[in-house]
Structures are given as structure tokens and as C-alpha cells.
A and B are shown apart, each in its own frame.
Chain A
């Protein structure tokens, strides 16, 4: 970390640990221990950092914020539609649920502040048959409506481009069109402009996976 000009943030991500007094408490404890160790190397109490984890409860989030130098938080909802979420993310649906996931994202804004909380999409999967949206126009509209609901409450949505892989359950599916991804990027960017949400903790310097957040380089915030 002392290498001049080399690093600008600490990112932590891993799989989920569901155990603990409340589900995921052990995972939160684990993150806290790691971040406290990392924090010993900084002069400041807070340092540029992000956890990409599951949707923790507000109490768990508050612990993460209060007991460590953590500055931002991402819990990837993967797809902004309840039915598709239940279909594609059975583990997340079982342990947390779609509506609770969104509620926890919004709760996280109280802890980390607007523009410091993210959720990620595997964009294009919402069009995967036979359960996905029938048209790109429909998928775009429905996704952006849900993203706006989150943005209005301080949560940014970013996406990565879904790539169907051979020998996986959705491996025979076709990806969305380039035009769809361009429209989605513009749409999510427009929400950040409308609700003045900075995305500095997950921009082109910190995660090169999000075509939509690249556009924020042109914004003054």
C-alpha cells in the first residue's frame, strides 16, 4: 500500500457465511477483523474502501461502519425483478428475499450516506428465456423503474455485461444487444445525474466492470 501512486482503495469480497447468532453475523465479524487489521496501516480512521457482500441488516452494517474504516458498501441484487431474482438467485431469495434485499440497501444509505451504497446487476440475464422479459424495451423500462426507486433513496445501480458461458444452465442463451447495453448505461447514468449520486468508490479507477459508471467521469461530482 505504500507504493507511490499504486493503490487507491481496499476492496473486500468473498462468498457468504450464513452462520452466527443472526444469519451472516460470522461473516460480518470476519470482515471487521480483516478491516481492523488493514486499518492499522492508515493514519486516518476511515480509508477508501468497499465491501462487496451480501445484504446485511442495518445493525450489521452499523457495526461494519462504526468498528472499521469502511467507507462504502455494495450488495449485488443481480437482477431488478422479484420473479427473476427468485429464479436466478435462489440462495439470496432463501436467506434474504428480494424486497428485504432492497430494504437493506436503502438502510445502508443511512449508515454510509447517499452515493456510498451500490447494487450490481448482471445485465442481460433479465432477458434470458423462458422466464425473462420478452423484449429489450420492456426489460429496460422495468429495470430502470426499479433502479430509480433505489436511486431516489441514495442507492446507485451499476451493471456488468452478462456473458452466457457454455455448460452452465443458461449457457445456450443469447446475450442482449449492444444497443440494449448502451441504453442501459445511459439510463443508469441519467439516474445518477438526476439524483446527484457520486459513484467515485466504484468508478473506472476502482472497478473496470461497469460501462455505466464510466460516464460519471464527465460529472463534477
Chain B
């Protein structure tokens, strides 16, 4: 109720809200078992947060009287969990209509009212990487979200300091949607590679054309004609310039290795592979040439290209020095990523720190935000989760979740109904089949919004 009240109050004072920075909080957490992830475990330790930043870590810390003190004796404090592959809080996921859609931006379709954000917070997740779908060889630009649940303004959720990222996809999805579906390139894995190469080469030409125009403008009295504007190519040029990190949907070792070679050819080093079920076959190459792999713990066999899989994937990759994370790609899995990480430990016998890194500092590295979040260190942003047990215990339940020092989830204090927006006409709100489709068919382009729209229109 408190948060709803907060949202309500905010709506009354929007003038200050719209100009103000995103809210930050101060809090002192006392006597916790602190899992720093980067500096080992600290027992019976205090963490002082001031204005959203971790200021001090130590014993017997004190805080000004106005700062809330949380007695966390017997509890475990870990960095906020980071999900490097998510589709939560998006009104649209897949612009599945062209093989390259690098001009589209997930930031345009963020839905801050999505209850999925609160559910993620209840699972200790403070940051998610809201991604475009996997229908296109080159999909849209993703957005890294901080789960500041309660605001109605999507921009308040944007992690503005995070670098730009973009979705790529290999294999069955782009070839099915465009090749088989529409009879255009790419029809095969070769075609996917060709689409990507063509895109980059066109981007090089595009960049040259604009450079020539801008140089011509500098000549006095010149009247150059501007080239066409094309955000699609401009974005690809930014990838070539290292300004954007690629997150590529992929399964098979051959296509992963293929794209690594393509990237090397174009001088691209900012690339993370997502899913990567056969990543264990190309682990040394992933370690050398990429920003790592974001995998599932044990999810596979939902289509042909995902049969050759193993629950040892995360461990093999980790042992080969690949930056490895475990992602959800699901509004359900995002609620227990600590369990998913636990599975990798169960199979691959990673130690606790390596295991927790899979859902904290490693995804932070893959999103280019490891200097700000992903571990409990002085100077980092105070995204924190307090667990009743060690988070890798099957009995662990998150108790409180903080983003920038502000508590957005409290298992004891929160109201039963934390929805920010309620339908006036549906007492039982419909379940969004979008999510259902998404899970069953896994990244497939078919999603419910369009299905509903085209329901009565089959004349063409």
C-alpha cells in the first residue's frame, strides 16, 4: 500500500517529479552476512547507503537519525540480481517485419505499470535488460531497466548510465520468419550471416556519405545536398564504432563461431552471446573474442537447434574464463534466478562466489555497467537484496529489495495487491498470452497483440 500511496503522492507533485532525478534512498543495514561477490563474504557486517550509493562497509557503523536502520542479524545481503536477457515491462517485443530493424528502440515501449517488475523485485532482481525479440538477424536496440517500480514514467526506469545494446539473432528464428515466412533473405544460416555483413557494409557507405556531406558543409559557400537519413544504418555504424554492445540470440556452436569471425572481420569486440546452448563447444573462442555468454541453467529441447545442450554449460564456460551469466528470458524464471544459478552450482560444482557472479557482476559486465552495480563495494549504486537464508539455499526467500537505496520490495510490509494500474472493466484480468507464447515457443515472433488485432481480418 505504501508504494501505491507513494505513486499517488508523486502523481500529485509531478512538477518536481518530472524535473527531479530518479529517487535515491539512504539506509543502514546492520549485522548482515554480506555476500560482496567481488571481495568474499563478510560476516556480521554493516552496509551504509547514502543517497543511493554504498558509502561504507564495516562493523559498528552509525547513521544520522533520519536514516532507516534495518537489523539484519542472521540474514544474507547480496547485490541486486541482474538479468541480462528479459522481456518484462514491454508493450511490444518483436518488430518481426524486416531482417534488420536496428532503428527500433525498446525504450519506446516500456510499460512501467507491468506487475512483472514487482514480481522480479520479489525475486531480488533489480536490473533487467529489456530486449527486442529474436525474429530478425539484427533486431532492435534494447534498454537496461532499473526496477524503480511505482513511477508511471518509463524514463524513470531507464538506467541512463548504461551503454547502448542491441539484439542480434541467429538460426531458426530469423530464417523461419523471413525466409520461410516471407520468402526473403535470410532463408538459411548462410543468409543470416550475409544479412549481417550487408548491413555492416551498407553502414560503412552510409557513414562515409554523411562524413562527406558534413565536410562539404565546412567549405565556405558550398551547397551540398544531404544524404538520406537512415537510423537503421546509423545504428549499425555505431556498432562498428564500438558504441553499442551486441547481445546475440544463438544456440549452435557453428553459428556462434561464425559470428565471432564476422565480428573480428569488422573489428567488433562488444558482443555477448545469449542462450548459447552449444557454447561449451566454443568456450575458448568465447573467452578470447567476446564479452561472454548468457545462458539458461537447464532449459532446452524446445526446438530442433536446442537439443544439443547440457546443464554443465555455465560451469564449463566459467572454467574456460568466459564471462558467464544466467538469464531468465521469462517473466516467471526472473522470480528465482538464484535457484537457476543454484542449478549451475549443483551440476558444475562452481563455488558460491562463482555461482552468485552468474547473476550479479557477470551480467553487469555484459551490460557494461560493472563499474556501477553487480557487487557490494563502496561507491557502487545501492542495489541490494536481503535474503532470509543463503541465496543458493533452496529455502532462501528474498525479504527486501533495494534499488538506489530505495526499498521497492518488503515481504512483510507490502500490500497484498501491488498492482499500479487496475482494469476498470475486468474483475479477473486476462492473462497475457504473449508471455505464454513467448515461453512455449521461445523467442518466436508470434505474439498476442497482433493475433488479437488480426483476428477478424483474414481477407488478405
Please indicate whether A and B come from the same complex rather than being unrelated chains: no
A interface residues, Cβ below 8 angstroms from B:
none
B interface residues, Cβ below 8 angstroms from A:
none
